[in-house]
Amino acid sequence: MLTKLLSGDNPRSAVLTVLLLVIVISLAFAPFLFPGTKSLETAARICIFIVLVASYDLLLGYAGIVSFAHTMFFGLGAYGTALALSSTGPTYLSILWGTLAGAVIAAVFALAIGLFSLRVKAIFFAMVTLAVASAFAVLVSQMSWLTGGEDGLNYKIPRDLTPAFKLVKEKVFGVRINGKLLAYYLVFFSSAILFLVMLRIVNSPFGRTLQAVRDNAFRAEAIGYRVVWYRTSATVLSAVIAAFAGSLLAIWLRYTGPATTLSMEIMIDILLMVVIGGMGTLYGAILGATVFILAQTYLQELMGVAEEATSFIPFVSTLVAPERWLLWLGVLFILSVYFFPSGIVGRLRASRG
Amino acid sequence: MSETTIKPRIEAPPLLDRLKEKLPVFLVPILAIFGFAAIGDPSSWLTLTVAGLAMGLMIFIMASGLTVVFGLMDVINFGHGAFISVGAFVGFTILAWLSGWTASPNVMLNLAAVFLAVLVSMIATGLMGYAFERTIVMPVYGEHLKQILVTMGGLIVAQQLIYVFWGPDELHISRPQALQGSILVGDAAIEKYRLVAVGIGVALFLAMRHILKSTKIGLLVRAGVENGEMVEALGYKIRRLFLIVFMVGSALAGLGGVMWGLYQETITAHMGSEIMVLVFIVVIIGGLGSVEGCFIGALLVGLVANYTAFLAPKVSLISTIALMVVILMWRPQGLYPVVKAK
């Protein structure tokens, strides 16, 4: 049953299994284990980013394509849902059509970019997506009549998903069972389903062919697989799933703006998460996203302490200031590309045997 | 045995074919004429054209290094933007030190200050290019995926280091006296600085062309682009050649950074990665590895961006992307594809 659910792709390492279990159980019971708004926010962010990072890994790790437009697809999903909610009112129907519209538009964009630039040279794709994505981000912040510009959109979601809605009067294990909790579980289960779907995809014949194309496109073509078709399908698939992740974020935050969905910083975050977690394995996304977001939320506090401790040394204290945490992650990123390109997961799997 | 020697027959290709090959060269004037037809007013057209050429040439300065580096060693440097930012910051620091020189009405002192700033920032970015190549790029030759990731990582680290050294705020500086203001040509006001930028850009392009076409090192670079292994087999150290090209490319990016900074009079740590979008578009339009293509692509991008900013400000953001799409539909490898699929 479990093997079937994981599509036969077991973690294949005892330590990894334990880590994954800890993460999944913590996320599943996050509202009860870690009460408090900040930790619930962090848990929901982790769930959403696991999906986002896994969908990026589908492209980077499994198909060997570097894209810088992933935030664009993420943003399309988020803005689709946000616009639907703000234009047709806070109903489930608007969530549904907004999500679908966002996903369809993301798919069309991905198809266009893929057919256009994947034909020529894979490296073109990276540059073209970078250009298109940044133009898109600028466009969104300029079209303020539709998107709210830099300020973004604030909107209402169905009342059942807000803290105002109480499901049970009494507290359960000291936790209020309200709409916010329902929203969290909506995010959690949607993320889990999307993740399992992706696991299914990469372990299907399609996924195997994708890996073959990644490892040797020429040979794959010679065997008779249409390389362009496979690459483009992978792009479209990952774009659609990224759009779904965007919709989840839009529902959870009740706010959508360029800074939370489209910015280059988010793209870099995704890259770091994939590489640190491990490319070419979806479990890497779970580990990468969790480690990164925990670091983002809590490491900065630690660095603040370090800054105060070193405040008597003028230069060092600026190096360890909390705002400079990306510097250290950048260094970590470069080192991990060199020394363990298969990331944490690859390390754990290798140390097993 | 007959005495007739077989004469090699060199057939000149028909005029139409030769014209087709040269077609991209005519794109810039064609675009300028179209722009004239669309704008109508000669003086605003002249202002916009000069502005477009200046912008294009500054982008060319930054993009040329990137494209040659790719052509020679099949290395794509996503961290190129870091050199642009660092160049601008170093240049601005020097100009701030020499503020007495830049504020004085003496033209020679003004120019000397700018020259010094450019020189120091080119040296700094050249050395940074050396460090970048040795530590970041060298271990991942031949692996595109890792190259993109690692150079992106290098960009992140470099940007953060700029924050560490210069602080998180943007820097402002005004152009030296001699480069401020504009001159009138008929009714058209043309900023002096833009003319200077055009001059430097054209001079640099001609110098680069001369070096590539008529010197030994240029010959080696071109041969290396064509077939690196063969050049290596003939006893030339292509890695060292590559390192030199990489450093020169980085120094040019630094020069471009200073010029762009003086053009905008404001610089931020992420200006490099913002300009990189245009640089990539230019490199793609020109064809990876081609300096001529890069030159034409840069001029096209500069002109299109300025014309559309005047004609339809809303569209101007995506006009350069549209230009890229059109060019790629016509020539999927860019205007002058140099690099064979390696």
Instruction: Check residue B341 and give its pLDDT.
Output: 43
Handedness of CA B308, B309, B313, B314 (dihedral sign): positive
Comparing A318 with A64, the larger pLDDT belongs to A64
Q: What's the mean pLDDT in A130-142?
A: 87
Q: Is the pLDDT of residue B342 over 50?
A: no
Q: What's the mean pLDDT in B202-224?
A: 89
Q: What's the mean pLDDT in B282-308?
A: 90
What is the distance between the alpha carbons of residues A130 and B273, in angstroms, rounded to a whole number? 10
Q: What's the mean pLDDT in A132-160?
A: 84
Band of pLDDT at residue B29, cut at 50, 70 and 90:
confident
A63 closest CA partner among A159, A207, A198: A207
Query: Where are the domains positioned within chain A?
Result: 2-352
What is the distance between the alpha carbons of residues A137 and A149, in angstroms, rounded to a whole number? 10
Band of pLDDT at residue B251, cut at 50, 70 and 90:
very high
| Mean of the per-residue pLDDT values of chain B | 85
> How remote is the C-alpha of B314 from its chain's centroid?
26
What is the distance between the alpha carbons of residues B105 and B43, in angstroms, rounded to a whole number? 29
Return the exposure string of B122-145: e unless at least 16 CB atoms fall within 10 Å of the residue's CB, then b: bebbbebbeebbeebbeebeeebb
Which of B154, B274, B277 comes nearest A334 by C-beta? Answer: B154
B122 closest CA partner among B215, B240, B259: B259
Considering A327-336, B240-249, B323-332, the range whose residues carry the highest mean pLDDT is B240-249
Mutate which: B132, B133, B160, vs A, most A CBs within 10 A = B160
Residue A274, min C-alpha distance to chain B (Å): 11
The DSSP-derived string for A273-340 is: HHHHH-TT-HHHHHHHHHHHHHIIIIIHHHHHHHHHHTTTSHHHHHHTSGGGHHHHHHHHHHHHHHH-
Which of A128, A131, A334 comes nearest B136 by C-beta? Answer: A334
What is the distance between the alpha carbons of residues A297 and A330, in angstroms, rounded to a whole number? 17
Q: Which CATH class is domain A2-352?
A: mainly alpha
Weakest mean pLDDT among A117-126, A269-278, A328-337, B151-160: A117-126
Comparing B183 with A353, the larger pLDDT belongs to B183
Q: Please write the tens of the pLDDT for every residue from A168-209.
A: 777 777 677 788 888 999 999 999 999 999 999 999 999 999
Beta bridge partners of A153: A256
Which of B144, B150, B314 comes nearest A337 by C-beta? Answer: B150
Q: Is the pLDDT of residue B339 over 60?
A: no
User: Percent of chain A beyond pLDDT 90?
Assistant: 33
Residue B156, min C-alpha distance to chain A (Å): 6
Comparing A7 with B65, the larger pLDDT belongs to B65
Mark yes or no for CB contact A135/B318 under 8 Å.
yes
| Number of Cβ atoms within 10 Å of the Cβ of A119 | 15
Give kind and range of the element (H or E) at residue A257.
none
Q: Is the pLDDT of residue B340 over 60?
A: no
Instruction: Check residue B4 and give its pLDDT.
Output: 63
Instruction: Check residue A250 and give its pLDDT.
Output: 93
Q: Is B210 on the interface with A (CB under 8 A)?
A: no
| CB-CB neighbors (< 8 A) of A59 in chain B | none
For chain A positions 248-267, those within 8 Å of chain B (CB to CB) are: 264
| Number of Cβ atoms within 10 Å of the Cβ of A52 | 32
Considering A310-319, B172-181, B261-270, B309-318, the range whose residues carry the highest mean pLDDT is B261-270
> Which residues, 6 or more positions from B165, have their beta carbon under 8 angstroms from its beta carbon?
B89
Q: Which amino acid is at A90?
A: P
Q: Which two tokens stand for residue A210?
A: 């994708």
Q: Is the pLDDT of residue A78 over 70?
A: yes
Which residue in chain A has the smallest CA separation from B163? A324
Instruction: Check residue A97 and give its pLDDT.
Output: 92
For chain B positions 174-203, those within 8 Å of chain A (CB to CB) are: none
Mark yes or no for CB contact A66/B149 under 8 Å.
yes
> Which residues, 6 or more positions from B330, have their beta carbon under 8 angstroms from its beta carbon?
none
| CB-CB neighbors (< 8 A) of A331 in chain B | 153, 157
> Which residues, 6 or more positions from A288, have their beta carbon under 8 angstroms from its beta carbon?
A53, A272, A273, A274, A275, A276, A277, A278, A343, A344
Comparing B297 with A298, the larger pLDDT belongs to B297
What is the distance between the alpha carbons of residues A159 and A86, in angstroms, rounded to a whole number? 14
B53 closest CA partner among B174, B159, B169, B198: B198
| CB-CB neighbors (< 8 A) of B322 in chain A | none
Mark yes or no for CB contact A139/B156 under 8 Å.
no
Instruction: Check residue A234 and give its pLDDT.
Output: 93
| CB-CB neighbors (< 8 A) of A327 in chain B | 156-157, 160-161, 163-164
What is the distance between the alpha carbons of residues A330 and A328, in angstroms, rounded to a whole number? 5
For chain B positions 60-99, those within 8 Å of chain A (CB to CB) are: 76, 78
What is the distance between the alpha carbons of residues A68 and B152, in angstroms, rounded to a whole number? 11
A336 closest CA partner among B243, B70, B140: B140
Contact A51, A298 (CB under 8 A): no
Weakest mean pLDDT among A69-78, A336-345, B108-117, B254-263: A336-345
Instruction: Check residue A353 and give its pLDDT.
Output: 45
Residue B87, min C-alpha distance to chain A (Å): 19
What is the distance between the alpha carbons of residues A203 and A283, in angstroms, rounded to a whole number? 13
Instruction: Check residue A212 and give its pLDDT.
Output: 92
Q: What's the mean pLDDT in B281-297?
A: 89
Based on C-alpha coordinates, what's the Rg of chain B? Answer: 21
What is the distance between the alpha carbons of residues A291 and A295, in angstroms, rounded to a whole number? 6
Phi/psi of residue B185, each to 5°?
A: -115, 105
Comparing A317 with A352, the larger pLDDT belongs to A317
For chain A positions 4-23, those within 8 Å of chain B (CB to CB) are: none
What is the distance between the alpha carbons of residues B95 and B91, in angstroms, rounded to a whole number? 6
State the pTM of this model.
0.86
Instruction: Check residue A314 and give its pLDDT.
Output: 67
Return the exposure string of B15-31: e unless at least 16 CB atoms fall within 10 Å of the residue's CB, then b: eeeeeeeeebeebbeeb
Alpha-carbon distance values, B42 to A21, B37, B55, B74, B108 (Å): 71, 9, 20, 44, 34
C-beta pairs of A195-199 under 8 Å, 24+ apart in sequence:
A195/A50, A195/A51, A195/A54, A195/A282, A195/A285, A195/A286, A196/A5, A196/A6, A196/A7, A197/A241, A198/A54, A198/A55, A198/A58, A198/A241, A198/A282, A199/A6, A199/A7, A199/A9, A199/A282
Which residue in chain B has the smallest CA separation from A340? B146
| Mean of the per-residue pLDDT values of chain A | 86
Instruction: Check residue B141 and give its pLDDT.
Output: 78
Mark yes or no for CB contact B150/A334 under 8 Å.
yes
Q: Is A333 on the interface with B (CB under 8 A)?
A: yes
Q: Is A337 on the interface with B (CB under 8 A)?
A: yes
Residue A264, min C-alpha distance to chain B (Å): 10
Band of pLDDT at residue A108, cut at 50, 70 and 90:
very high
User: Percent of chain A beyond pLDDT 70?
Assistant: 96
Instruction: Check residue A190 and give its pLDDT.
Output: 95
| CB-CB neighbors (< 8 A) of B314 in chain A | 142
Contact B164, A318 (CB under 8 A): yes
Mutate which: A57, A216, A334, A335, vs B, most B CBs within 10 A = A334
Q: What's the mean pLDDT in A14-18?
A: 87
Instruction: Check residue A352 and give its pLDDT.
Output: 57
Residue B211, min C-alpha distance to chain A (Å): 28
Mutate which: A57, A70, A109, A134, vs B, most B CBs within 10 A = A134
Instruction: Check residue A102 and give its pLDDT.
Output: 94
What is the distance between the alpha carbons of residues A195 and A296, in angstroms, rounded to a whole number? 23
Q: Is B163 on the interface with A (CB under 8 A)?
A: yes
Instruction: Check residue B176 and give its pLDDT.
Output: 81
Q: Is A275 on the interface with B (CB under 8 A)?
A: yes
| CB-CB neighbors (< 8 A) of A303 in chain B | none
Domains identified in chain B and CATH numbers: 56-330 (1.10.3470)
Mark yes or no for CB contact A330/B156 under 8 Å.
yes
Mark yes or no for CB contact B161/A142 under 8 Å.
no
Q: Is the pLDDT of residue B195 over 50?
A: yes
User: Percent of chain B beyond pLDDT 70?
Assistant: 96
Instruction: Check residue B301 and give its pLDDT.
Output: 93
Q: Which two tokens stand for residue A335?
A: 């080192």
Instruction: Check residue B121 and give its pLDDT.
Output: 93
Instruction: Check residue B78 and give its pLDDT.
Output: 87
Which residue in chain A has the smallest CA separation from B324? A128
Q: Which two tokens stand for residue A138?
A: 């600028």
| Number of Cβ atoms within 10 Å of the Cβ of A288 | 29
For chain A positions 297-326, those within 8 Å of chain B (CB to CB) are: 318-319, 323-324, 326
| CB-CB neighbors (< 8 A) of A139 in chain B | 317-318
Comparing B180 with B135, the larger pLDDT belongs to B135
Contact B231, B220 (CB under 8 A): yes
Q: Is the pLDDT of residue A56 over 90?
A: yes
Q: Which amino acid is at A104?
A: V
Which of A122, A131, A275 comes nearest B324 by C-beta? Answer: A131
Q: What's the mean pLDDT in A274-285?
A: 88
Cα within 13 Å of Cα(B299), Cβ side: 22
Considering A96-105, B109-118, B170-179, B226-235, the range whose residues carry the highest mean pLDDT is A96-105
Weakest mean pLDDT among A63-72, B78-87, B139-148, B206-215: B139-148
Question: E strands along chain B, which residues?
Answer: 171-172, 182-185, 188-191, 266-267
Mark yes or no for CB contact A330/B157 under 8 Å.
yes
Q: Which residue has the tokens 């053009």?
A: B263
SS3 of residue B267 by DSSP: strand
Please give, one letter per residue, the 3-state secondary structure of B292-306. Answer: HHHHHHHHHHHHHHH
The DSSP-derived string for B153-177 is: HHHHHHHHHHHHHH-SSPEE-PPPG
Comparing B275 with A9, the larger pLDDT belongs to B275
Q: What's the mean pLDDT in A280-289?
A: 90
Residue B146, min C-alpha distance to chain A (Å): 7
Beta bridge partners of A172: A175
Alpha-carbon distance values, B127 to B40, B246, B249 (Å): 48, 10, 11
Weakest mean pLDDT among A126-140, B9-23, B288-302: B9-23
Q: Which two tokens stand for residue A333?
A: 């990123």
Q: Is A120 on the interface with B (CB under 8 A)?
A: yes
A-B CB pairs within 8 A amount to 100
Residue B185, min C-alpha distance to chain A (Å): 34
Mark yes or no for CB contact A338/B140 under 8 Å.
yes
